[in-house]
Chain A
């Protein structure tokens, strides 16, 4: 009887010790997250390390640690951290997303694509995950495959302007300038301040040889962001195409 009571007490002690470790791990993870939000990354990292010292099975802490390394531009450390988190729980969308972004920053688009695909797979309702997948495919030059991903994002949210815009770029790459312009216009109908859509619309119009309309589109982008170099250079090219060399060179000297 005494042995049974002793055994039960030992179990209780071990259980409470585990719970305490888990509690403190969660507590440190939370503190680290607050510091991360305040962009105090070095200190945040200390807390995530403390959290993991208390409980190395805290998948969230590994993910948050990965985010922090990424913010510090330590991409290899960031990737290692996400992978540790995913070894514990391979359904963590945030870890897959972070991993995709880290590989993307390293310009390792094949691994980025793979991770982005896993992120999208682990949360079927996450439109941003589909957008990310598409964007990485576009960076790999796979515009057609990217369009499928944007369609996936748009099936979740038909008004998703970023997906509409990116799908427009895929249409443009496929030389379907009319569809591209329709997509850019639908972005602008939803968000008239979407400078990227005006700029891309200018490109599509330029490809159609409609220089006056292209110029207007670039000017609209520049109304929103007068110092935007890309739109300025684009405008310069349209002016050149119109034979307005002096006006073009006026821009050339300022960019």
Chain B
């Protein structure tokens, strides 16, 4: 563990193997081995180690978490989602687990299925801004811009520095043809993070839609 923490992964692996050889049922050693392999970007090997840990203890959430991270790195979001769902099942009182499940569903394009997951998180904490924001994204994807704006506004009330909410609100306003208001939302996002390119490009598009070509091109050449 100490070697892994100090990023001496190769040597750490040797010690985890020694621990496993001495005590075959040492679940933590398998999990730590998996974590180390993951740190070394050997994701497939890490998955095998986590599997070994789960053979000993199928409810070990640390192993399931490792699997989630490994599959995320491999961009296999369907499998990451299945592992995340297992964690929620084992620990349903943790709002983060619900959020993660929802996020994996969004990454697979299942925006409607993601909503109940965010609702699950919001039952535990109605002020959970990340869940409110992500639920807003789902609603926007499903064509419900008005409800999405309501949610982004809620996020902004909870945290006025939540730049992503302003940016997403701008997109929602744009879909309603409210380009001036969208521009204001992007400006708010840029006040928080002036170097964030996405709201800058978004702002350029709202200017383009308003026919303000000169202003739009000023942004375009500066990006």
Contact = CB atoms under 8 A, between A and B. Distances in A.
Interface of A: 135, 138-139, 141, 143, 169-170, 172-175, 200, 203, 206-207, 229-230, 233-234, 237, 240-241, 243, 245-246, 248-250, 252-253, 255
B175 A240 contact: yes
Contacts of B202: 233, 237
B24 interface: no
B174 A207 contact: no
B109 interface: yes
B72 to A, nearest CB: 13
Contacts of A207: 208, 211, 213
Contacts, number: 79
A241 B198 CA distance: 17
Nearest to B217: A173
Contacts of B209: 241
Contacts of A174: 213-214
Interface size of B as a range: 20 to 34
Given A245-B175, A249-B140, A172 B197 contact: no
Interface string B204-218: 010011010110111
A31 B154 CA distance: 63
Contacts of B198: 229, 233, 255
A45 B95 CA distance: 56
A9 to B, nearest CB: 64
Given A245-B142, A253-B137, A141 B197 contact: no
B205 A143 contact: no
A183 B222 CA distance: 20
Given A230-B223, A246-B142, A249-B140, A237 B214 contact: no
Contacts of A255: 198
B81 interface: no
A175 B175 contact: no
Given A233-B198, A234-B201, A252-B171, A143 B109 contact: no
B197 A229 contact: yes
B221 interface: yes
B111 A175 contact: no
A135 B222 CA distance: 10
